[in-house]
Amino acid sequence: MFNVFPTARLRPSPFFHSVMAEGCTSASIYNRMILPASFGDPEKEYWDLIERCVMWDVGVERQVQLEGPDAANLAQILCARDLSKQKVGQGKYVAVCNHAGTILNDPICLKLRDDLFWLSIADSDIWYWARAISAERGLKVEVSEPDVSPLAVQGPKAEDVVADIFGDWVRDVKYFWFNETEIDGIPVAVQRSGWSKQGGFEIYLRDGSRGDDLWKIVKEAGQPYGIGNGGPTSPERTESGLISVGSDTDEHTNPFEIRMGRFTDTDVPDDVVGINALRRIKQEGPTRHHLGLVLDGDFKDPLQFHWEDITVDGQKVGDMTNCVWSPRMEKNIGYALISAQCKVGDRVVLQRSGGREVDATLVEMPFL
């Protein structure tokens, strides 16, 4: 049995005891928390997600809360996407950029009230950033972390599970919209979202002392549907083309390079951080873009730790940022952050670890 001591440096989620009791066998670190990855059978966990449903402890999706008369103002200043028409109860996928237009984080921005927002962040410390920008601009807003921990239910049967728990109204919830509600006295927000493209919901637990109770409710409701354990899966997210800022990006990556142009608005107020740089990049056109890679060969050949060079005629043209075995395509697939001169259909060479060269073809994303 493995134990983790709650400290400010490594915080267990409210679902941690349940997760360990279920037999979690591997995890990674995200936002200085533990992100359960597998319960011993990644292949089964993948197919459970594709064919039925899974529940994931995604408490690592921490919330940066903006509250006060200038909360909406600060949200817009931090996010390079037009939030002026965002409604209470609506979430939007946004790029948080620095002054150079480099992406720092890609949260979902949830509007709970006109003066209350959550940024449901990826893996970087946005509290400091939000406080600094707020202070520099003299805004009246409190930046804090609320007691909130998401639990994801994903897969084609996820809607049935969540409807059995909360009622059929969940079937009418639109993508990224959410409702605040409760179950057995446990306060939650229920959003149609989740880091897969198999459909589903995230239940944002709003009382960290009730994690095991909420886990049990979801587990029991999921039994008739064969709900499984797991965690966000690399193969599915890669097939689906989902972005992981920090893994797929470096300290020079802007949203236009990684297919976030469709979520990036440049006709927003001039005080949005990075907007001048983003306008310039959009006008000039990004020098790199994001394409899929399908590797030759049919044995599992995942990327281990670092980005690997992509070359054409011996010249580096980009980086392979991610590579996994796709069970549905029965191929190794990956992401290329690559010169805009390289096009779909081009053949490239991957400089794999151990000095191996592997041929690959550039394709459009998502793969599936």
Q: Give the binding site for ligand THG (CB under 6 A).
A: 61, 93, 106-108, 120-122, 150, 193-195, 202, 242-243
Instruction: Indicate the residue among 45 and 202 with the shorter CB distance to ligand THG.
Output: 202
| Pairwise CA distance, residues 230 & 208, whole Å | 21
**Tokens found for residue 275:** 């907007």
What secondary structure does DSSP assign to 292-345, as a single string? Answer: EEEESSSS-----SS-EEEEETTEEEEEEEEEEEETTTTEEEEEEEEETT--TT
> Which residue type occupies 131?
R
User: Shortest Cβ distance from residue 158 to ligand THG (Å)?
Assistant: 13
CB 80 within 8 A of CB 275: yes
User: Shortest Cβ distance from residue 126 to ligand THG (Å)?
Assistant: 11
User: Shortest Cβ distance from residue 89 to ligand THG (Å)?
Assistant: 14
Q: Which of 133, 72, 75 is nearest to 107 (CA)?
A: 75
- The region that residue 330 occupies, defined by phi over 0 for left and psi between -120 and 50 for alpha, beta otherwise, is left
User: Shortest Cβ distance from residue 194 to ligand THG (Å)?
Assistant: 6
| Pairwise CA distance, residues 52 & 229, whole Å | 11
Question: Could you give the maximum distance between any two Cα atoms of the chain, in Å?
Answer: 63
Instruction: Indicate the residue among 190 and 317 with the shorter CB distance to ligand THG.
Output: 190
Instruction: Indicate the residue among 14 and 194 with the shorter CB distance to ligand THG.
Output: 194
User: Shortest Cβ distance from residue 103 to ligand THG (Å)?
Assistant: 11
Strand partners, 200: 154
User: Shortest Cβ distance from residue 73 to ligand THG (Å)?
Assistant: 23
User: Shortest Cβ distance from residue 107 to ligand THG (Å)?
Assistant: 6
Instruction: Indicate the residue among 46 and 93 with the shorter CB distance to ligand THG.
Output: 93
Instruction: Indicate the residue among 88 and 135 with the shorter CB distance to ligand THG.
Output: 88
CB 247 within 8 A of CB 323: no
Instruction: Indicate the residue among 61 and 308 with the shorter CB distance to ligand THG.
Output: 61
Instruction: Indicate the residue among 46 and 195 with the shorter CB distance to ligand THG.
Output: 195
Give the containing element (helix H, strand E) for 73: helix 71-78
